[in-house]
Structure 1
Amino acid sequence: MSAPTPEDFHRRFAALWAARDAEALSELLAQDATMLTLTGLWCEGRKEILAALKAELSGAFARSRLVTGKTDLRPLGPGATLVHQRFVLSGLVDAEGRDAGRIGAVLTAVLLARKAGSDAVTLHFTVVEG
């Protein structure tokens, strides 16, 4: 699968999240990327990112669904784009497997253009109010 364009990054992220494909999600990021996850894990490098995504997608987010909200793309210069994507996550589960409601979240990523598309050099996926 080719790397997504900046315009398609958030859709690819949401589709892979829905598929619980931690491996493919981690491949959206550069080998030396950093990521802040929804549960507050700070990851450096794709190996740590993959481990965190596997844990989160098999835990509280095992049944979660992403609903896409507002998207904002900002060029940072030649070959670099900042992506802001609002999501609502529903289907969250607590430690006992009970419904834990829904939350608002924002994905913020800096993408660098590569020959086959773009990958994120840093990605923050954080909970927000409102």
Structure 2
Amino acid sequence: MSLGDPAEFARAFSNAFADRDPAAIAALFAEDADFLSLTGAWAEGRAAVADVLGAEMDGMLARARLVSGRTKLRAVAPGVAQVMQRFVLSGLVHPDGSDAGRIGAVLSALLRETAAGWEVVAAQFTAEG
């Protein structure tokens, strides 16, 4: 699924996360994209993005909720943009199932424009602090 505008990425990511739909998140990525997940897993390719996010949503992110904060969009070059989105994640789960509390996180994504629209070529979801 390509986006009509790079500014749509953060909301599309948030909505798919809320729906617990790793395939919908992965659809925002290019077929050969790279993604560094919140747990430090490096996914290479759209299918791997879906797999990594699916595993995280079955694990530490099983009860997680995102609250969006500040968004920053930067045009890097014609047809290339960076989106940075701040989130607060609550409901994180330890491996033993106990509550891990909440954290601040930043999602940084590099997008490129294609004939079909905008897609993520590389992204990193990182805990703050």
Report the TM-score, using the length of structure 1 for normalisation. Answer: 0.94
Residue identity in the other structure for 2:109: A
Residue identity in the other structure for 2:48: E
Tell me the equivalent position of 2:92.
92
Q: Tell me if structure 2 keeps the 8 A contact 1:4–1:119.
A: no
Tell me the equivalent position of 1:7.
7
Tell me the equivalent position of 2:103.
103
Residue identity in the other structure for 2:46: R
Structure 2 Cα separation of the partners of residues 88 and 50 of structure 1: 22
Deviation of 1:2 after TM superposition, in Å, equals: 5.1
Structure 2 Cα separation of the partners of residues 68 and 106 of structure 1: 10
Tell me the equivalent position of 2:54.
54
Structure 2 Cα separation of the partners of residues 5 and 60 of structure 1: 31
Tell me the equivalent position of 2:82.
82
Unaligned runs of 5+ in 1: none
Equivalent residues, number: 129
Unaligned runs of 5+ in 2: none
Residue identity in the other structure for 1:13: F
SS in 1 for 2:99: coil
Deviation of 1:29 after TM superposition, in Å, equals: 0.5
Report the TM-score, using the length of structure 2 for normalisation. Answer: 0.94
Q: Tell me if structure 2 keeps the 8 A contact 1:65–1:90.
A: yes
Tell me the equivalent position of 1:66.
66
SS in 1 for 2:119: strand
Deviation of 1:93 after TM superposition, in Å, equals: 1.1
Deviation of 1:34 after TM superposition, in Å, equals: 0.3
Identity of aligned residues (%): 50
Tell me the equivalent position of 2:16.
16
SS in 1 for 2:101: coil
Residue identity in the other structure for 2:9: F
Give the strand-richer structure, 1 or 2.
Answer: 2
